[in-house]
Amino acid sequence: MTQPAQIGLIGLGTMGAMLALNIAEKGFPIAVWNRTTSVTHGFKAEAGALADRITPTETLADLVAAIKPPRAIILMVPAGEAVDQQIAALRPLMDKDDLIIDAGNALFHDTNRRAEEAARLGPHFLGIGVSGGEEGARHGPAIMGGGLRADWDRVAPVLTAIAAKYKGEACAAYMGPAGAGHFVKAVHNGIEYADMQMIAEVYGVMRDGLGMEAEAIAKTFEGWNQGPLQSYLIEISAEVARATDSHSGKPMLDMILDRAGQKGTGRWTVIEAQHLAATIPAIEAAVMARNLSSRLEERLKGEALFGAAPQPTTQVTLDQLEQAMIAGKILCYAQGFALISAAAKAFDWAMPLPEIARVWREGCIIRSSMLNDMATALTEDPARNLMLAPFFADHLKSSHGALRAVVAAAAISGLPVPALASGLAWFDMMRTGRSTANMIQAQRDFFGAHGFERIDGLDDKHGPWAGHGI
Ligand code: NDP
């Protein structure tokens, strides 16, 4: 007999179905509803040994009635309008003390708005970021929660039970009020974009610069996965480089069109960084590269007109490439965490930076051994930029020369490495005490009489060009 449900879930798509099975497997009876009813019944029919813990429902009223109060219902539907529609449909059916949890990839501004509406109209509302794709949802995702602390605590037993575990520690944590969880998830995705882009860039240097075959590239990634770069993304990059296409017998990678897709979370991260005046150039470069990748026709015209950019190089070693990746990765994460710090300040959200690094150590797409060291560095001093933490400063001191060599050789040989190059430029700017912004200030004063500060502290804000402005 089916057990009374402790929690509900709406949206049995890729993520929702896997989350529901994960919840049931951890011992929590669950009621489910899907817009297309046949999917709901099919889900129960295929749940095997877990079917006893699953209550399929055909209407939202049945769903609500199937859950023990105070109720909690997870939404796993596409971000945007679908979430608002479901909340509007559930509101009259649920009690004020019940809880709706949006576990999709919502824009955090929407989550802020929904949290505010929930405070006025009920029921309670949590926005949680879930990372790890289908596999993570089924066997343990990373979970980043936002909303009222008491609401998080109410469902924490379920969320920590289903989350990934790093040495027994659950990769699920409360990130702060309202949209804080979805904000952290968006930054996670931004970092994911940059990490993937940098891997694609070193792949390009190996393929087009060093003329390496896919198998040799796979072996290189495999080797890197035994060192400081150990991570899910390097691991799967080795696997995809090794895979063979069953149709042509060629390396699978060689048969895949170089037009990268995106769902927009990287773009949101970049837009928000601009609003917050946070500097995340490696992530911006990664979003730019995805956008540019889709302009295949234009790229082909460019190649026909100017000749193919990528040329072979003998100026880069595999060891330098690995070191460049290490430096690039540290810089990209330093940018991501600095963005979270900026948001915490601007929105007055006490976001737990070390906890964020800990939550990302398992379950999510950017999981990597380096995140454990980042958690340690952020525990020592959450306000300090990661690149200044002694552990990562030491890494950067020994690896930024290789990053420079790789970026320089790539530039000379026409091998595009935008994320690595912008990471390097950021690093160089971050260690330049006397920058060139004095020229910007002079120009601004010249044409707009904007004034400047002097290095000697004198109160003379304008240059001798006063009166030249337009
Ligand atoms: P899918 O497209 O696989 O599933 C979408 C689900 O939502 C289906 O059950 C669908 O029902 C339902 N749905 C669609 N539109 C509506 C609507 N207007 N009202 C009610 N139900 C609706 O999506 P995913 O599972 O991949 O993604 C769900 C959420 O999770 C998204 O926000 C996504 O960004 C996020 N996410 C996805 C990840 C992934 O790797 N796929 C990773 C992390 C987060 P029906 O069967 O009737 O079509």
For 386-428, the pLDDT digits (tens) are 999 999 999 999 999 999 999 999 999 999 999 999 999 999 9
Other beta carbons within 10 Å of 390: 10
| Residue 14 alpha carbon to ligand 1 centre in Å | 7
Give 466's pLDDT tier (boundaries 50, 70, 90). low
Write down the mean pLDDT value for the chain: 96
Per-position DSSP letters for 114-142, written without gaps between them: HHHHHHHH-SEEEEEEEESHHHHHHH--E
Annotated active-site residue in 185, 272, 329, 362:
185
Nearest to 143 by CA among 193, 197, 102: 102
Per-residue confidence (pLDDT) for residue 262, from 0 to 100: 82
- The answer to whether residues 366 and 266 touch, using CB atoms and an 8 Å cutoff, is no
Per-residue confidence (pLDDT) for residue 86, from 0 to 100: 98
Atom of ligand 1 nearest to the CA of 104: 32
Q: Find the length of the chain.
A: 470
231 DSSP β-pair partners: 368
- From 74, 77, 193, 262, the mutation candidate for ligand 1 (largest count of ligand atoms within 8 A of CB) is 77
Per-position DSSP letters for 70-106, written without gaps between them: SPEEEE-S-TTHHHHHHHHHHGGGS-TT-EEEE-S--
Per-residue confidence (pLDDT) for residue 202, from 0 to 100: 98
- The answer to whether residues 160 and 382 touch, using CB atoms and an 8 Å cutoff, is no
Tokens of 103: 């576990």
Annotated active-site residue in 68, 116, 192, 301:
192
Task: Report the predicted TM-score, pTM, of the whole model to 2 decimal places.
Answer: 0.95
Q: What share of the chain is helix, strand, coil (3-state, %, to 5)?
A: 60, 10, 30
Average pLDDT over residues 86-95: 98
**pLDDT of 467 higher than 90:** no
Residue 279, by phi and psi: left (phi above 0), alpha (psi -120 to 50) or beta? Answer: beta
Residue 281: burial class (beta carbons within 10 Å; 0-12, 13-18, 19+): buried
Task: State how far the alpha carbon of 357 is from the alpha carbons of 141, 175, 373, 376, in Å.
Answer: 14, 11, 9, 9
| Residue 16 alpha carbon to ligand 1 centre in Å | 7
Q: How far apart are CA 3 and CA 403, in angstroms?
A: 57
| Residue 105 alpha carbon to ligand 1 centre in Å | 10
Give 469's pLDDT tier (boundaries 50, 70, 90). low
- From 14, 38, 262, 367, the mutation candidate for ligand 1 (largest count of ligand atoms within 8 A of CB) is 14
- The answer to whether residues 46 and 72 touch, using CB atoms and an 8 Å cutoff, is no
**pLDDT of 470 higher than 70:** no
Residue ranges and CATH numbers for the domains of the chain are 7-178 (3.40.50.720), 186-430 (1.10.1040.10), 436-470 (1.20.5.320)
Please calculate the CA angle 241-246-250 and round it to the nearest 5 degrees.
50
Per-residue confidence (pLDDT) for residue 3, from 0 to 100: 72
Task: State how far the alpha carbon of 178 is from the alpha carbons of 30, 128, 163, 343, in Å.
Answer: 25, 10, 21, 13
Q: Whose CA is nearest to atom 14 of ligand 1?
A: 77
Q: What percentage of residues in the chain have a pLDDT greater than 70?
A: 99
Give 376's pLDDT tier (boundaries 50, 70, 90). very high
Per-residue confidence (pLDDT) for residue 264, from 0 to 100: 84
pLDDT in tens, 242-298: 999 999 999 999 999 999 888 888 999 999 999 999 999 999 999 999 999 999 999
Residues in Cβ contact with 38 at an 8 Å cutoff, skipping those fewer than 6 apart: none
Strands 72-75 and 99-102: parallel
- Has 301 been annotated as catalytic? no
Per-residue confidence (pLDDT) for residue 229, from 0 to 100: 98
Please calculate the CA angle 370-374-379 and round it to the nearest 5 degrees.
155
| Residue 192 alpha carbon to ligand 1 centre in Å | 20
Tokens of 450: 């904007």
Other beta carbons within 10 Å of 81: 10
**pLDDT of 105 higher than 90:** yes
Give 87's pLDDT tier (boundaries 50, 70, 90). very high
Tokens of 54: 């699953």
pLDDT in tens, 426-435: 999 999 999 9
Per-residue confidence (pLDDT) for residue 93, from 0 to 100: 98
- The answer to whether residues 340 and 187 touch, using CB atoms and an 8 Å cutoff, is yes
- Has 185 been annotated as catalytic? yes
| Residue 208 alpha carbon to ligand 1 centre in Å | 38
Nearest to 23 by CA among 44, 57, 53, 60: 53
Q: How far apart are CA 374 and CA 355, in angstroms?
A: 10
| Residue 82 alpha carbon to ligand 1 centre in Å | 9
| Residue 138 alpha carbon to ligand 1 centre in Å | 15
- From 35, 59, 192, the mutation candidate for ligand 1 (largest count of ligand atoms within 8 A of CB) is 35
Nearest to 128 by CA among 55, 171, 182, 75: 182
Strands 124-131 and 142-146: antiparallel
Q: Whose CA is nearest to atom 17 of ligand 1?
A: 82
**pLDDT of 7 higher than 70:** yes
Q: How far apart are CA 451 and CA 442, in angstroms?
A: 8
| Prior bond of 416 cis (ω within 30°) | no
**pLDDT of 1 higher than 70:** no
Per-residue confidence (pLDDT) for residue 261, from 0 to 100: 84
- From 32, 43, 57, 76, the mutation candidate for ligand 1 (largest count of ligand atoms within 8 A of CB) is 76
Q: How far apart are CA 185 and CA 29, in angstroms?
A: 27
Which amino acid appears at position 266 of this protein? G
User: Which residues approach ligand 1 with their CB closer than 6 A?
Assistant: 11-16, 34-36, 39, 76-79, 82, 85-86, 104-105, 130-131, 133-134, 263
